[in-house]
Structure 1
Amino acid sequence: MRMKSTATGGGFWGLFIVNLFILIFTLGLGYAFVVTRTMNYLVQHIELEGEIDLSELQQTEDAYTDATGEDLSDMLDIDFVF
């Protein structure tokens, strides 16, 4: 698979200017909207070339071990500073 970008310099420049105005006029509160706009622009301008061979896909871990207990113990380990 190859990726091809159809984004242009002018498109990036326009995105940058509008994002800058959003950040300035919202005093930074529009940051999430700026990130969403940027990701949307990037995804819309990427094309995949080639064919996907689904028979070649493999699981990365053959012997998967469940780490739920370890993750849960890490989450419940709360340190208090006095």
Structure 2
Amino acid sequence: MSAKLVGSSLTREMLENGDTQIWCAVSNDSEAHAMTIIENSDYSLLVYITSFNDGEFVCREGESWRFAIPVRKIELTQKEVGL
């Protein structure tokens, strides 16, 4: 694979390669809008994507989304918070 995959393209590829639940920032407007969700910590639009059907991503709750950007949930360390 020569092209660098990012955003919704990366999510589609992950699903095609067998991932079954991908933590994503989602939007029906644009990938740029999904990025603002990440930047603004709008956790209401972070969902597990389970499939890609008919041009839309489907989350675990059954809702459909046009754009889904994979994100990572990680635990903060003492060093990261400056203690």
Aligning the two structures, in what range does the TM-score lie when normalised by the shorter sequence? under 0.3
Which structure carries more relative contact order (alpha carbon 8 Å, separation 6+)?
1
Superposition TM-score, scaled by structure 2 size: 0.25
In our comparison, the structure showing a higher alpha carbon Rg is 1
Higher-strand-fraction structure = 2
Higher-helix-fraction structure = 1
